[in-house]
Structure 1
Amino acid sequence: MAELVIMRGDITEQEVDAVVNAANSSLSGGGGVDGAIHRRGGPEILAECRRLRVSRYSAGLPAGAAVATTAGFLPARWVIHTVGPVWSVTEDRSALLASCYRESLRVADELGARSVAFPAISTGAFGWPVRDGARIAVEAVRASATAVSEVRFVLFDDPAYAAFAGRLSGD
């Protein structure tokens, strides 16, 4: 089972095998984590994303799925792009959010990655409540059979850090 670590910080500065990107389905960069990864990683990431759109994901990467590209100038080897669901009051999309974590770890295993850094997927612009997002993230990672030895949750702000810290301590 992977060791779970939480930290406040910038996911683009993580020296890990793979950084997970909370991507949009177009794989074209955007705001938040996605924009930061594309800006810091450089044009190679976007070029690979465009090739994936032409070859495998012409309709876009589906929510809950994951795919890897180079990490460009990031201090990681790969970026694993996953599309989180948008929060909905009327529809339970928890399984899709959990799938983001499971599928990212599956891709990490295929790559041979031993360390992976995750953001709090869907808890920013996609509106997922951070405490529930932390619960789903930790449960999904703990339930995944993976060869990854370290999973870092790299949180951008105090509320996200507190939510993940509470979940990891059994709150």
Structure 2
Amino acid sequence: EFLENTNVTFNSNNSVTYIPKRTVQHEPTMSDRDPHADIIYSPNVALLGMASMLHNSSTFLNLGLATLARYLDSQPLINISVHEMLWGYDEPLVRLARAFLPNWIPFSRLGLMDRMFDEGTNVVTMTLNKSLDSVDELGRTRRIYSFDNWNGKNTLKDWNGAACNSLNGVGEGILYPRYAYIYIP
């Protein structure tokens, strides 16, 4: 993973604002396999996800999905490369769903890492205190290089409870380890 901070602005309140851009690149020297050449059988995440979403729906609606999947030749198990599984493969159901629901499904290819890394554009403001810890105007301890806000907000909205959504003490680079090791038996 490569992290590049773009549009960097140093603010007068001893903070910096930037837009992080993450890219991932396969490093062949750290792997004994080629993700483009290795082929796997995998569940068709799009088809199984739609079937799961409709499991309590009417028989008529489930029959419609089965007919559509058969018409589009969408199989429950697919034969794709590891690279396609991670970074995107063409799935007719995804293309069709995107045509009808572009705001809900804004992507045309489905891949596990592709969905994780497609987080859009985020704007981060980070504290640049001279000491290791300082206290803000509300009496909270602020760590050096900790986030002041993310996309203009000082909390997230993803979880229930203030503690889970707090950005207090959060800094860049602690979400994932520096290297991801994948062990294949």
For Structure 1 versus Structure 2, the TM-score category normalised by the shorter chain is under 0.3
TM-score, structure 1 normalization: 0.25
TM-score, structure 2 normalization: 0.23
Task: Determine which structure has the larger helix proportion and give its number.
Answer: 1
Query: Does 1 or 2 have the higher relative contact order (CA < 8 Å, sep 6+)?
Result: 1
Rg comparison, structure with higher value: 2
Task: Determine which structure has the larger strand proportion and give its number.
Answer: 2
